[in-house]
Amino acid sequence: FSSCGLWTVILILDQFTTRLLSSCCKMSNLMSEGITIVEDLHKNREPVPEMKAIYFMRPTAMCVDAFINDFKPKPKYKAAYVFFTDYCPDDLFDKMKKNCAKHIKVCKEINISFLPLEAQVSVDSFSFIYTPNSQDKDQTLETIANQIVTLCSTLDEYPGVRYKKDSALDYGNKLAELVDNKLARHYELDDHSKKKGKTQAQLLIVDRALDPVSPILHELTFQAMAYDLIPIKDNNYEYKLKDGSKKEALLNEEDELWVKLRHMHIAEVTGLPKILTCNLMFPIFLPQKTVHVSLAEDLMSHFQKNVEKLCKAEQDLAVGADAEGQKVKDPMRTLLPVLLHPHDTTDKIRAVLLYIFSLNGTTAENLNKLIQHVKIEDESGYILNWKHLGVPILSTPSMFSFRKQPRKDRSDKETYNVSRWTPVIKDIMEDAVENKLEVKDWPYQSECPSVWNGSRAVSARQKHKGSSPDDLRSGSRLILFVLGGVSYSEMRCAYEVTHANKSCEVIIGSTHILTPRGLLEDIYNLDK
């Protein structure tokens, strides 16, 4: 904004751009750029005719109308500097031009219509897409496509686009086509009037139905477990001090200890107090020590109370084999102990769903018995509404059309018995990086460069940090977009695959981040 030559100005934001700026800067950063006041575009504001205003907003009819109202009949500000998050449709641009052109000093589209939640994670359109007979599906997919294009533009990537075939709802195909067409238009001409060619990047679009298991399981890595079991709102964790008082801590990338611990298994994190006390290499983390020790203790309390009992059954149902590698021949025998134990209703629903997913759907008679056993006759949508995502709940003669993703054998990998499941998306990431994705299953919406193999050479002098895009500029990028939400365990996979293949950066994005309970509520509400 400082490039506008503005000092002491008002910044006016809509709801989305407020979240966007909050995710990447503080008020002190804005003040250093001459921003003295931040206002909400859609609220009543007092006129300040002696000051200039920067408008940072989405190019929607609601935002444009609110902007025009600020200058008709009498201008609230001395001048307007307008920045749109992405492409502004011609009709809205013409409307602004017609009504208040003389007040607009700058009008730019800056292509940043996405939320960078973490270094390798970009993110609510769930109900608009999956609600039966929704009138907003096409418009929502169009909006998502625009956001993906602005991400690619920000990364200066023109990727080849692929999608998962055979999705029951076919949204991946539709979104891939929209994104590819919009990318082609966006890169038709660059600043030198030359057409930009494809870069060394792939964009894969997948639907939530590809893996319904991962967002339902009890995950035992630090971040995923915390957001599942602890009431963390807007990344704020409330914990108790020794004197009994309460304090809040923000769990984000500015907390270096959080970044170091978030993908570790809880069994490793529980050694934290000893590590921090004994290891002199950790003095920079000491201020956060109390927060994360408290969080680890909270999580272990939940684990020992009831989660440990659930995890064995959940893992057996998800993996299809027990810890010794013996195949689960009768999933109902695995499920029954969970149903007979006094677990809370949500945990029983999660176990029932894993049972159904393991069978690729069950009979109507069996499903009714399960619903009655969990005592959710009036709330059966928690289970039945998964069909709206394209996930089979009832087995039918046409079930052959729904094929489960073949899994990699990871039995030789050292792991915890209560954490044997690996998200399906990690298999996909690894196959994509190694150029092993089958074209019949992952057709190209547009071709990637023929030399793309996910392992371009990287300078030996290049220091790899894993979470910094600048470190990987001479490598290639794999961008995945999950339609319908991404779980914390799937987010972790992007970091893991990047670390394992240091010449390829994996970036994962979605409509929103899932927690098991939040996803169940979203699904329950689909027919409301």
The pLDDT value given to residue 275: 56
pLDDT tens digits, one per residue of 13-22: 999 898 888 7
Domains and CATH numbers, the chain: 9-110 (3.40.50.2060), 116-211+423-452+472-525 (3.40.50.1910), 222-389 (1.25.40.60)
Q: In this predicted structure, which of 19-28, 231-240, 462-471, 498-507 has the lowest mean pLDDT?
A: 462-471
pTM tops 0.75:
yes
Q: What sign does the dihedral 491-496-501-505 (CA atoms) show?
A: positive
Q: What is the mean pLDDT of residues 276-297?
A: 67
Confidence grade of residue 1 (pLDDT, cut at 50, 70, 90)? very low
Q: Is the pLDDT of residue 407 over 60?
A: yes
**Dist. CA 502–CA 386, nearest whole Å:** 37
CA dihedral 355, 357, 360, 362 (to 10 degrees): 40
**Dist. CA 442–CA 483, nearest whole Å:** 16
Q: Judge whether 266 and 293 are in contact, CB under 8 Å.
A: no
Mean pLDDT score across all residues of the chain: 85
The pLDDT value given to residue 244: 83
Confidence grade of residue 449 (pLDDT, cut at 50, 70, 90)? low
Q: Is the pLDDT of residue 424 over 50?
A: yes
Q: In b/e form, how buried is each residue of 43-76, taking b as 16+ CB within 10 angstroms? A: eebeeeeebbbbbbbbbbeebbebbbebbeeebb
Who has greater pLDDT, 141 or 33? 141
The pLDDT value given to residue 464: 36
Q: Is the pLDDT of residue 353 over 90?
A: yes
